[in-house]
Structure 1
Amino acid sequence: MHLELHIKSGSRSGEVIRLNEVGSQLEPSSWVKENEVIELLLRAPAKFQSATLNLYDHRVAATYVDFDENHTNFVWKPQRQKNRSLECLFINYFGLAELSVELEDEEESKVIKNFAPLEVFASKLNAQNVEDMLSYLATLGDEQLHSLFQTTKHGAGFKEGSTSPNGSLERLEHTIDKLSFLFQSLFSKPITKLLPEHRVLQASGEEDLDDSALGWLLDNLSVVEEVDDIDRAHFEFNDRMYKAHSVQVPVLKESSNLYENQVVHGFIVTLLNEADKQLTNYNRTGSLKSAFSEEMPEGYSSFFTQVNRFKKELLGNQIERCVRAIDRLKFLKHSLDKAIPVTNYILDRPILTQKAEAQQSYRGVFIEYINWFERSCPDWSVYQNLLAIKSIPTLFESYTYYRIGESLNNILNPTKKGQKPIGSLMHDIDGNEISLIREPTYWMPKNSRSNESLYINSEGKVLKSGKVKPRSSQHKYSHRCPDVVIEVRKENRPSKLIVLDAKYTYPTLAFSKYLPECTMKYVHGIHNRSNNKNLVCSMTIVHPMGDADESLQSFHSLDYSIEGSMPVSPSLQALGLQLGLSQDSDRLGETLKLLLKQAGVAIPENLQLPLFIS
């Protein structure tokens, strides 16, 4: 089975792209322009009666179905828009598009067919939007990204107490600095021990030979000659005197091959292994490359080219520092090998010996090594998720989350504005707890996972094949998952949720299509399992701001909007974000203040930042 894409506009009009199923023999990957008009065709077995195309979070039913004896042909024709132009399936899409089709037979049994991905090239406008969003994320830096990511759904594997990669690198650099200082005195007075060592030396005739020396001579008679002078002879045998040209004698030698020095070497080897591992993780994170860099049409851009530039901007400095750390460790290891050689390394947690404790430089190294075993491992989930983004809508979701997080911290902690790191758990001046949560999952009450949260998805009906039917509570999709939730918890009072959903779309669609949809899904579909009070106090669709559009569009008339004298709850609105580094023209900060006040948050009025910046 394969999915055909028929191009209906532009310079490639008439061309057909065939996408095979994932798992079957794949033809070379394909590409499309975001503004090409495309008609899709799928030829399936005759038992299937309906088909739905899935692209990102969009579900599109087939517009035309043709039945013959052995097959069913499903066609998705481009729709005519209000301006009479044909709809472009991939408009505002950028990056890797993964298409799947959900097929349903007469018995309502469903099967999903996944097809090979194709790359979508973006026009200059969308490419600039991506550049603006990535530039903003790069300005946040490692610590800020890390601290805000801790409570996200994607960060579920985050370990308590784990550090950011940059924090781990800083600790490594600090440890190297300390060791470099300690080694100066350690090299001048290393811990050693005098041990006997047998050496073969040129004989003078005055040596006192012990049993081992005589044994060696018996095994090496070629160095022995007969002499007449008893004063020159080393030994007498059968009334004859003999002298050796060479003799093996015990000599005391200073040896550094001791436990304390093996620990010092082991620490450097451990640090080298850690630095190599960190550098490998930096280089491995998000290595993306367009398969069509040579075929790219003029005026279009590849998402992966921009993401790689972002990676270089975000991680380039850390990679250089990591390389320098490795070079410094190699120099220290070379110096150790030369000055204090050992035959073995101690790579386990060391035991502080009396000799090491008595010498300050060794004691310092041992303590650093012991403390190293107590460190937290770096958490790479931030980079893994940010650099695994393959489409512009997903990037916009991350951008929106971090913008909201930064603004929220500036509102509730205005005296700490610009300080890093910022957090996802805050308190207002009355002690109420405000949590910023990314993609929380609220399950239907009878689902086995519903106890994961205090809140449930209360929807009980679903529209299926044009009919209203009971909604299954045990399906993997028996939940709702908004992009961003600000939870306000008050002591002895009901909690409130401020829900924001990011949609990379036009302002008109954000208001007319997505705001009603999300109002039904989240405002009326999320409740507290223990009471019937209103939980969601506001629903906001966040979208890129248009050229000449108002940033904030309320569903309610002015007096009853969040800006009015009698704001109603739940409030409904769409909010446009300015994607560039200069964000003065959007009203995110002001809108969040109004939403927080509506939820009962006490904002420090005397420390508030200006609502409008001139």
Structure 2
Amino acid sequence: MIWILVIFFDFLLSNKVSYWQAISRSKVKSSDKISEEGHIFWFLYQLQTNLTKVLDLLPQLVMDPRVKVVEDFQIKTWNDSLNVDESSINWLLHNFHVIARTDPYNSSRIKINNRFYGISQIQSSDLITSTDIYENQIIHGYLQDVKEYLINILANITNNIVSDNDFGLTLREIQINKYFLRLKTIVYNLTDLVDELIYKCNKIIPVSSPKIEWPSIFYGFESKDHYYQIGVQIISWFDRKNFKFDNHFLFSGVRTLDKLYELFCLYKIINAIVDLGYEYNEFAPSNFKINNKWDDRVTAHAGRYSFKKLDGCSITLNYEYVPKYLFTSSSLYKGQLLPDFILEIRKPGVKDINLVILDAKYKPFSNIKRFDLAELTLKYLHGISSDINSINFKGLFLLHPKDKVGKDNTKPVWSYHQEEFDLFSLNPIYPSIGTVEVGVSKKAKSYITDIINIFQNRF
């Protein structure tokens, strides 16, 4: 069992999957009640998104910064074109070293007690624009606050990395160290991004001092679209920054083995699609809510993964998500009919979509064949598919780890319809029902590729 966990962990970590139930918690003001939870990696992902948005808006900030007009006082060499006012005379009275006796014909002369003096320098004032205003101070304060926050997280990470000892590290300690090192890399990258933003903002919108506070005066941000968008990122930061990543909740436990295997299969399916020549296009997270609140730990991976080929063929992999056009009953809305994976296979010029359900089960093949296959056939194929809306799935296959060869003599790809009617025959019955072996060993062959290839070429 230990070697299986190690392979799970290493494979998922290489695909940036959060297999720990890493939770950050915040407290309501004047209360000890824990009000919200969030995943630390999801929090950092949101922060990266916000900072990148600000970086993308810098060109507009260069072209159109918010400014104010101020008097600029400078000591200049005397000439007749300088703007001289009362402040200039007052400065001169306190700086007699810049005047000296001269003749009456000197153009820069002044007369004091019937004597002529020449002026070498004087304080002059001009009207200039300055970026030292509230909105720009808030932007600088936001960046400084983010940097300090990241420094604190980095210190926490460094203090919690487990050092090796004479007895060696436990599996938990090894995996926590790997996770901390991954977290450390993310924080370093975010720190570099913040430093870049601070450097550029010092050039573009220099201020006398930053203001680290909620932007309570927002009308200035609303006056320009790019300032408004930056203001939204700042508000988002102050909404989330009170999350406390304390040591007790940072890694509160490993997800269940079933969930680990499900995530394992997600990336095995993605790899299989890519192996068939498809290019990853985009990911659209699902809008999944629990008690009318977003659950970041769910939406981190659930959603629609889109892939395309140069010939126009496309595959959409839905993970813990059912496309709206498949909503045939209230059970779908309630999430009661939610397969792990739904594949939508499209071909150019072909109206119909090939729909295939894949469901991950960390169980022996014999149990799946005896119990799960019939149950999920009724639940998914008959529960979602409908003749009324012409939705017909082409297949349902359950994914399972490799069994030890026993009396069932498990095949890597097993079809419920046997011999001349199985999936690989010339006359297969649809929807095709069966199982696919998805082994967890490093050398295990991926049979998912064979299944997807059949469904993309047969129709």
Give the TM-score taking structure 2 as reference length: 0.53
Residue 350 of structure 1 aligns with which residue? 215
| Structure 1 residues 356 and 320, CA gap change in structure 2 (3 angstroms) | same
**1:270 partner letter:** D
> CA offset at residue 605 of structure 1?
7.5
Counterpart of 1:329? 194
- State the distance in 2 between where 1:309 and 1:274 align: 26
| 1:170 matched residue in structure 2 | 45
**Mapping for residues 117-266 of structure 1, pairs under 5 Å:** 130-140=2-12, 145=19, 161-204=36-79, 207=82, 209-230=84-105, 232-266=107-141
* 2:169 aligned with 1:303: yes
Q: 1:402 aligns with which of 256, 264, 283?
A: 256
Residues 25-104 of structure 1 correspond to what in structure 2 (within 5 A)?
Answer: none
Q: Is the 8 A contact 2:19 2:260 kept in 1?
A: no
Q: Residue 271 and residue 588 in structure 1: after superposition, are their counterparts in 2 closer, same or farther (change >3 A)?
A: farther
Q: Distance in 2 between matches of 1:332 and 1:324?
A: 13
Bigger Rg, structure 1 or 2: 1
Secondary structure of the 2:118 match is: strand
Question: Partner amino acid for 1:403?
Answer: L
Asked whether the equivalents of residues 57 and 226 of structure 2 are also in contact (C-alpha less than 8 Å), the reply is yes
Match of residue 251, structure 2, among 371, 384, 388: 384
- Paired with 1:428 and 1:245, the residues of 2 have a C-alpha distance of 88
Say whether the 8 Å CA contact 2:22–2:251 is kept in structure 1. no
Aligned to 1:590: 367
Taking the aligned partners of 2:181 and 2:91, their CA distance within structure 1 comes to 63
* Structure 1: stretches of 5+ with no match in the other structure: 1-128, 151-156, 297-301, 387-397, 435-582
2:393 alignment partner in structure 1: none
Q: Secondary structure at the match of 2:209?
A: coil
Amino acid at match of 1:402: T
Counterparts of 1:434-473 in structure 2, within 5 Å, are none
Matching of residue 277 in structure 1 with residue 185 in structure 2: no
- Residue 301 of structure 2 corresponds to 420
Deviation at 1:348, TM superposition (A): 1.5
- CA change 1:408–1:325 in 2 (3 A) is closer
SS in 2 for 1:251: strand
Give me the whole-angstrom Cα distance separating, in 2, the residues matched to 1:146 and 1:201: 65
Residues 203 and 246 in structure 1, CA contact (< 8 A), matched pair in contact too: yes
1:554-587 C-alpha deviation (Å, 9 max, x unpaired):
xxxxxxxxxxxxxxxxxxxxxxxxxxxxx99962
Contact 2:101 2:118 in 1 (8 A): yes
Structure showing the higher strand proportion among its residues: 1
CA distance, structure 2, for counterparts of residue 245 and residue 429 of structure 1: 85
**How far apart, in 1, do the equivalents of 2:380 and 2:264 lie?**
11
Secondary structure of the residue that 1:145 maps to in structure 2? coil
Partner of 2:240: 375
Flag the 1:236–1:409 CA change in 2: closer, same or farther, 3 A. Answer: closer
Contact 1:205–1:234 (Cα < 8 Å) also in 2: no
**Segment of structure 1 superposing worse, 372-381 or 340-349:** 372-381
In 2: Cα distance, 1:228 partner to 1:148 partner:
83
Distance 1:290 1:324, change over 3 A: closer
Contact 2:18 2:41 in 1 (8 A): no
Quote the Cα distance in structure 2 between the aligned partners of 1:589 and 1:322: 46
Retained in 1: the 8 A contact 2:61–2:204?
no
- Equivalent position of 1:545 in the other structure: none
Determine if the alignment matches structure 1 residue 609 to structure 2 residue 386: no
Deviations 1:47-97 (A, max 9, x none): xxxxxxxxxxxxxxxxxxxxxxxxxxxxxxxxxxxxxxxxxxxxxxxxxxx
2:125 is paired with a residue whose SS is: strand
Q: Distance in 1 between matches of 2:42 and 2:157?
A: 14
Which whole-Å CA distance do the structure 1 matches of 2:22 and 2:33 have between them? 12
Give the conservation status (yes or no) of the 8 Å contact 1:407–1:588.
no
Shift of 1:289: 2.8
For residue 217 of structure 1, report the CA deviation from its aligned partner: 2.0
Q: 1:588 to 1:144 in 2, by over 3 A?
A: farther
- Corresponding residue for 1:566? none
Taking a change above 3 Å as real, the CA distance of residues 232 and 322 of structure 1, as seen in their structure-2 partners, is same
AA of the residue aligned to 2:231 = F
What's the CA shift for 1:241?
A: 2.0
Corresponding letter in the other structure for 2:204: A
Shift of 1:321: 2.7
Please state how far the C-alpha of 1:357 moved relative to its aligned partner. 2.0
SS in 2 for 1:269: helix
- The alignment of Structure 1 onto Structure 2 pairs a total of residues equal to 301
Q: CA offsets per residue over residues 406-465 of structure 1, 9 Å max, x none?
A: 579999xxx99x993599xxx99998989xxxxxxxxxxxxxxxxxxxxxxxxxxxxxxx
Contact 2:143 2:197 survives alignment (8 Å): yes
Deviations 1:286-329 (A, max 9, x none): x223432xxx6xxxxx234x555423544544432321121121
In the superposition, relative to structure 1, how do residues 384 and 409 fare at CA in structure 2: closer, same or farther (>3 Å)? closer
Higher relative contact order (CA 8 A, sep 6+): 2
Q: Residue 247 of structure 1: CA displacement?
A: 1.2
Question: Measured at CA, do residues 208 and 202 of structure 1 come closer, stay the same or move farther in structure 2, by a change above 3 Å?
Answer: same
Q: TM-score, normalised by structure 1?
A: 0.41
Please state how far the C-alpha of 1:365 moved relative to its aligned partner.
0.7
Deviation at 1:202, TM superposition (A): 1.3
Matched-pair contact (CA < 8 Å) for 2:75–2:123: yes
Q: Structure 2 matches for 1:512-551, cutoff 5 A?
A: none
The code of the aligned residue for 2:251 comes to Q
Q: Which has the higher helix share?
A: 2
Question: In the alignment, is the contact (CA less than 8 A) between 2:23 and 2:38 conserved in 1?
Answer: no
**Contact 2:61/2:226 (8 A) holds in 1:** yes
Distance 1:328 1:409 in 2: 30
Unpaired runs of 5+ residues, structure 2, are: 25-31, 273-299, 303-318, 321-329, 338-359, 383-395, 401-409, 413-459
Describe the SS at the equivalent of 1:257.
coil
User: 2:8·2:261 contact (CA, 8 Å) conserved in 1?
Assistant: no
Following superposition, the deviation at residue 134 of structure 1 comes to 3.2
Cα offsets for 1:511-535 (capped at 9, x unmatched): xxxxxxxxxxxxxxxxxxxxxxxxx
